[in-house]
Structures are given as structure tokens and as C-alpha cells.
Amino acid sequence: MASSGLLGMIRSVLIVGVLLVLGVGIRLYHQRVMPLSIDHPAPVVAAVASANYQFMVQVSGAVWQPGVYAVDPSTRLVDVVKLAGGVLPEGDVSGLNFANRMTDGQHVVIPYRQSGSRSGVALVSINMASAVELETIPGIGPAMAQRIVSDRVRHGAYPNINSLTRVPGIGEKTVDRIRSRIQL
């Protein structure tokens, strides 16, 4: 009788010990995992070194700290990307011109690398690209790129490639010519 009481007590102590170790392990795991999600918080607004900034630029896509940044007129894409913490390893910068000057209200999307691109040329997303990125498509200049972005903002995402014809100045021939360079 005394030995079964002792065995019951040992079993209880072992169960409590296992639960305690498990609880401490879970707690330590969550303490290590949780700070990783806030290592690179998305800033709402950050200022360039100049105290006299004049406009705002939004950066999103394959950067460490997407957000809206206050910059001065001499700011170039390379400066804004640095403010956003740099490009992620899976970012595709092959189609970007880092020397481009930023403009007020501009939204820059740093694209992710496309897997399976047959031509080796990164496809430009007509639903995500900034005007600067759209300009990398042969035959699309600054004015046309801005019309595409404005149309997308006004009417929403393009449901298919052919819906680009709703943009003034883009017809079926233009869509056919750029089809191999774009994606949704």
C-alpha cells in the first residue's frame, strides 16, 4: 500500500515536471518568435536627412520596411529604397532605374523575382507597377504610364490583360505588342 502511494506521488511529480518543462519551452519559443515579427516595422512616415522635405513617396513590394516616406525634390529611387531598408533577397531590381527622381505622391513597387519567366525578362504587373516600372515596357512612355496608373486607381485592378484598352491611347495593337512583357 505504501509503495503504491509512493508510485502515485512519483507519477504526479513527473507529470507536473513534464508540464512545467513544456510550459517553459512554449514560453521561450514565443519569446523568440514574437520579436522577429517586429524587427522590421513598417514606418508610417520617415524623413530624409533634410528638414525641408516637400513631398511624400510610398514604397512597397520587395523591401524590408514598406511605408510612406517624406523626401526632398532631389531624392532618387536609390535613396527611397535605402529608407525602406533595402531590397529583400527575393526582389528583382533588373527593370528599375535607381537614378529616377521621385515625384510627390508617387508609389514605387519593388517587384519580386518572377519564377518561370521564359524570356529572362521580368514581367511588369499592370495591377501593381508604379509609373516608373511601367515605363520599362518598350513603347510605354511617362504619360502613358501615368494614364495606366490613374485608370487603375480610378476603376480598380485590371481583370485581364485586354482590359488595358480602357486606358485612353491604348488599343488592341498596343496590348498585343506589350503582352509578352506584362502580367496581372
Backbone angles phi, psi at 14, to 5 degrees: -65, -45
- The number of CA neighbours under 13 Å toward the Cβ of 76 is 6
Does pTM surpass 0.75?
no
CA distance readout (Å), 167 to 35, 69, 124, 134, 161:
45, 29, 17, 14, 12
Instruction: List the beta bridge partners of residue 56.
Output: 70
Instruction: Please state the length of the chain.
Output: 184
Q: Where is 47: in which H helix or E strand?
A: strand 45-47
Class of domain 45-183: mainly alpha
Name the residue ranges covered by the structural domains of the chain: 1-39, 45-183
Please give the chain's pLDDT, 184 residues, in tens. 566 778 888 888 889 888 888 888 777 766 654 444 445 555 555 544 445 657 889 888 888 888 889 998 888 999 999 999 888 888 888 888 888 888 888 888 888 887 544 445 678 888 888 888 888 888 888 999 899 999 989 988 888 888 899 999 888 888 888 888 888 7
